[in-house]
Structures are given as structure tokens and as C-alpha cells.
Structure 1
Amino acid sequence: MTEVFLLKNQHGNFLEKSGEWVNPTQSKSLYRTLHKDEAINQKVELAVKNADLRVEITTGQVGPEGKLILQHCDIPLEMPAADIAAAAEEASSLDREMSQSDSEQVAEQEQAEPDLFNQPTTSQDAETASAELHSIDSSTDNIEENNEEQRENSEQSSLFSA
């Protein structure tokens, strides 16, 4: 048996000779090389093209008939198509359950926490707010008048001191 080097991404897919990432059960033409430095070069080229890609080099054995035997593979190479479809359906049902539970949590949170910005106001609230704004405006006017008086007084005192 001969040891070969293969490239595997973060999703468990292997690089095919055509440059596509595939499940090892779906392809018989995986990229393989006898030399580790060639695998490293290929890994670097892929990383340059796609910065989000995480590639690792794995090893496999080539049997006497040329059949690839993967080591360290979570997916058996002889997995039937029905099992693959069942695994995909299970994953999608888990995704649906998670998204439903997330939306239920958001709805519960919205019910528990009242939205202060979208509550209706009463006419009394509006009158109170208007009175407070008028009070602030008059206070601002008084401060401005006091500042003007102080400026005038300082100008007059500077004229007399000269």
C-alpha cells in the first residue's frame, strides 16, 4: 500500500482533481499526491484564493487495485445514498428547530419588555411635556439676558478703569 496526501477543508469535504470540494463518498477522483510538498503548495494556493478557507493535509492509503482508503475520515467511503439523504434531512430539521426556537425567544422577549417608544401618549402627557419645554426655553432666555448684562457691566467697568 502506498501513502498519499489529500486536502480536506473545514467542512470535511475533500479537494477533487477538478478543484471542487466534494464529499469523499460522492467522488472517486479526489486530488492526491505522493509528495507532501506538493500538497503544501496546493494548500497555499487555495488559501491565497480564498482567505476564509481552512485546509488541512490528511493521509490515505492506495490499495493494490488503486482504491483509496482514507484514514482519519469521519465519513465512511461506502456510505449508501439513502444514509446520506437521511443525514441531510436530519441536519435540515435541526436547523428548522433552532430557527423556530430563536423566533419564539424573540417573541417572548418582546412580550416581556414593553416598547417605551411606541406607547400611545395621553393629552395630559403632551401638556406636561409642552410645559416643561416652555420652562426650559424661558430659563435659557434668562441665562442669555444675565450673560448680556454681565458683558455690559464688564465693558463699562473697563471704560472707567482706563
Structure 2
Amino acid sequence: MSPEYAMRGQFSMKSDVYSFGVLVLEIISGRKNTSFDETNNSHDLVTYAWRLWNNGTALDLVDPIIVDNCNKSEVVRCIHIGLLCVQEDPIDRPALSTILVMFTSNTMNLPVPRRPGFFDHTRPKDPLDTDQSTASKSFTVSTDDASITSLYPR
């Protein structure tokens, strides 16, 4: 799920691009983003991939089952494209047509990926969390005065 959809409910073609980037990283790594094991203090696959990319060890992301039987430069290019798709700002994500060209053209230079969405973000604190006394918190609650008088049609 793209950051802009999760945080603000905004959905666009770039949200699909984000999801596609996550899918690319899942295929390459053989791991699901939703059941990530927090390797190297990363809470999700995207953060883990980004850290490996920045450390120059992107091939460590590759599923051990395929790492010895793949074209390393093609896999690194796929990781690169996946990271471009999960950029934090939707404007920085490539269009679907551009992604197709990136995958089919080895001569196209790829831009340097920036920080991905959700990188090292923590979950927003739940306002109903009971860390402190609930007596010290106040909430605005609305009451719906509408009522139903007949449960069956006449």
C-alpha cells in the first residue's frame, strides 16, 4: 500500500506503481513484505532493500535459490527499478510506460533512487492508547440523534 493512500487516503496510478515496486522486490528476494523478519533492523522489505542498495550490497537481497543462476547486472537493474517505484513522493515514481521501457532497454540510464516511502517511519500513535491515564485525556464524541422507528417495510 502506498504511503499517500495509507496516510491520506489518496489513490492514483502512482499508488499502483508503488505496489508494483514492492512486488518486484518481493519476487527478487523471495520474501513477502507483509511477513518480513526485521533482518538488519529493517521493519519491512522496502527498508531492507533500500539499506542494502545504499551499502552497495544490493545482491544480498536476492533469493538464495536463484542468486547463483541469474544475470547479476539484470537483477541489480530490477532492484533499481523496484526502488524507483517505491519512492516516497509519488512525483518521483516513474510512469507505467516508463517502467516498461526501463525493463526492455538496457541502454536507458536510470535515475538514482531516493528514500522510499515508509522508510524508518514509525506507526502513528493511537489516540486511544492507554499509556497515560485516560482521565487526563479528553475526546470529542458526536452523538447521532437519528433513530429508526420501524424495522420492517410497511
TM-score relative to the length of structure 1: 0.21
Q: Specify which structure has the bigger relative contact order, considering alpha-carbon pairs within 8 angstroms and separated by 6 or more residues.
A: 2
TM-score relative to the length of structure 2: 0.22
Select the structure of larger CA radius of gyration.
1
Kindly indicate which of the two structures has a greater share of residues assigned to strand.
1
